[in-house]
Amino acid sequence: MDALPDRERCEVADRAGPDGAESRELNGAKRQRVVWRNVILMGLLHTGALYSLLLIPKAHPFTWIWSYICFMITALGVTAGAHRLWSHRSYKAKLPLRIFLAAANSMAFQNDIFEWSRDHRAHHKYSETDADPHNAKRGFFFAHIGWLFVHKHKDVIEKGKRLDLSDLLSDPVVVFQRKHYKISVLVMCFLLPTLVPWYFWGESMWNSYFLASILRYTIALNITWLVNSAAHMYGNRPYNKNINPRENRFVTFGTIGEGFHNFHHTFPFDYAASEFGFRFNPTTCFIDLMCWLGLASNRKRATPEMIMARKLRTGDGST
Ligand code: ST9
Ligand code: ZN
Ligand code: ZN
């Protein structure tokens, strides 16, 4: 990470830096310094993903299927892992399941579980303020990807330090993944997706790298980011019309069940992240299957009474 020393960070909002990008007012907040390394890397990644589209017709059909399997593993590492298990503790998972979810999370390459969960807890607690890492009040682009292109607002770090993260630090799986994050990403996000098609059905490494790794990773990133951007701007608010997060069917479909965002911000402890259990919600089906196999337990749910009372009190009247 391209970290600034604390002293410099505090000053950054008040003066122009070497690249002269800050010191302009933006919705009452000072603009933050651009991290050009991230802009360039994300530019290259997205260019690579566009190029990958040209390779689809040339690849073996098994490579398409494998890329989709990698996408589903990636998605579960974020939804069932970093999100519903580690950020919200909405259910309990035994060691083998936690190991699988941590490996799947490294395939997602969205920062390690500790950092992802810390930022996500800040997002819920300080939603749509300067202490929210991807504050959607700063617009679609900032909430989607722009927040990764600038140094964090000082409130994110100051208020983030008040969060209780002791449960994350006491989970050896989280600590291990953080300690070995770079190598785990190399193996899970890049090597494994590339080598399987090459080894098992003779796909070229070029095709499998661009489809199962680059394209799959870029699509998964953008779908995840849509929860922060689109699902904070477009859709109904049946549970709480006083907050911005919304129910967005398009996002729900892509994120295997994470687009019921008005419900989720109203009842963040609910393991289904939705009023409707497993309807349009493969992540919930996966957690239920894990419970059935004895690998997970203690699923938390908002009761129908709580949901109805909340809808009547603060809902926008939609269903
Ligand atoms: C990515 C993450 O894409 C995506 C998250 C999306 C979340 C969506 C959630 C939606 C719900 C779930 C839906 C799932 C759907 C899934 C569907 C799947 C198909 N509190 O970070 P630094 C400290 S990542 C407390 O360097 P800068 C930090 O500890 C993409 N403290 O800040 C450190 O302290 P020390 C790939 C905090 O310099 C210091 O501050 N990754 C907090 O401002 C500096 O930290 C990338 O692109 C906090 N909240 O840099 C890399 N935050 O010095 C992106 C920080 O003591 N990251 N601290 O160690 C970066 O390059 C940088 O973090 C930065 C900010 C440039 C963004
Ligand atoms: Zn959440
Ligand atoms: Zn949100």
Question: Which amino acid makes up residue 87?
Answer: S
Ligand 1 atom closest to the Cα of residue 119 is 49
In the numeric block, the tokens 């936690």 are attached to: 98
Closest residue by Cα to atom 16, ligand 1, is 224
Question: Which amino acid makes up residue 311?
Answer: K
Contact (CB, 8 A) for 31 and 22: yes
Cα(139) to centroid(ligand 3), Å? 14
Return the C-alpha torsion angle 68, 57, 198, 204, nearest 10: -150
Q: Does ligand 1 have an atom closer than 6 angstroms to the CB of 182? A: no
Task: Give the closest ligand to the alpha carbon of residue 231.
Answer: 3
- Give tens-digit pLDDT for 148-192: 999 999 999 999 999 999 999 999 999 999 999 999 999 999 999
Ligand 1 atom closest to the Cα of residue 161 is 25
Contact (CB, 8 A) for 281 and 270: no
| Domain ranges (residues) in the chain | 7-235
pLDDT at 8: 37
pLDDT at 21: 38
Closest residue by Cα to atom 22, ligand 1, is 3
Task: Give the closest ligand to the alpha carbon of residue 8.
Answer: 1
Q: Does ligand 1 have an atom closer than 6 angstroms to the CB of 221? A: yes
Q: Does ligand 1 have an atom closer than 6 angstroms to the CB of 85? A: no
Task: Give the closest ligand to the alpha carbon of residue 245.
Answer: 3
Cα(244) to centroid(ligand 3), Å? 8
- Give tens-digit pLDDT for 4-55: 433 334 333 333 333 333 434 454 455 679 999 999 999 999 999 999 999 9
Residue 52 CA to chain centroid, in angstroms? 23
| 271-299 mean pLDDT | 94
